[in-house]
Amino acid sequence: MTTSTLLLASSSPYRRALLERLGLPFECASPDIDETPINGETAEQLATRLAESKARTLARQYNQHWIIGSDQVACLPDGTLLNKPGTHQQAVEQLSRSSGQSVLFLTGLALLDSQSNRLQMHCEPFEVHFRDLDTTEIEAYLNREQPYDCAGSFKMEGLGITLFRSLNGRDPNSLIGLPLIALIDMLRQWGRNPLLEPTTN
């Protein structure tokens, strides 16, 4: 079994908490990449490109690691991208546009062996059906959770669930930012089974 250390290419506390659930030892480092979409790029292409870029950016510094990169893109039915809002007003606008809509979340996942340059890629889709939200509900939600660093302006692990009519997808963890089912599949393909390794918990 490989002794390569896992590295999560993210500063997100949400992704870190998800990866901790597997009980595997890992390190964290924050990649510095340009997340600007390329003209003509689809949402899926953007999500997977950014996930790979996060992993490759850290490969030289962490050259004996399996590096996990992940990035999430959300889009409305008309193809409009919903990025991290950053501000309260942007979040209000996003949730207002999402009200009554089905929003597709695409989470890109990359697993890079920085020693051999082996790479696995995946994009996990997940569809969220928003309830019809009024201004009072939107303001109340944003004031309580302030999800300004979250694509789509909600926190799935918190009160975000109150915004939805239904969910449709294989892995709800992908909404938080890391598709664990796909990651486990990748690790198993390279000979690491979280169930058969000593736990860090």
pLDDT digits 0-9 by tens, 149-167:
888 999 888 899 999 999 9
pLDDT digits 0-9 by tens, 71-127:
999 999 998 899 889 999 999 999 999 999 999 999 999 999 999 999 999 999 999
- Provide the token pair at 178: 């890391």
Output the pLDDT for position 197: 86
Q: Among the residues of the chain, which ranges form H helices?
A: 13-20, 43-57, 88-98, 135-145, 173-176, 180-189
Q: Among the residues of 37-162, which ranges form H helices?
A: 43-57, 88-98, 135-145
Task: Report the distance separating Cα 130 and Cα 41, nearest Å.
Answer: 26
Q: Give all domains of the chain, ordered by start, each with its CATH number.
A: 5-196 (3.90.950.10)
- pLDDT of residue 201 exceeding 80: no
Q: Would you call 167 helix, strand, or coil by DSSP?
A: strand
Residue 134 is a catalytic residue: no
Task: Report the distance separating Cα 155 and Cα 168, nearest Å.
Answer: 17
Catalytic residue from among 71, 113, 132, 149: 71
For the chain, percent of residues with pLDDT exceeding 70: 98
pLDDT digits 0-9 by tens, 28-37:
999 989 888 8
Output the pLDDT for position 74: 92
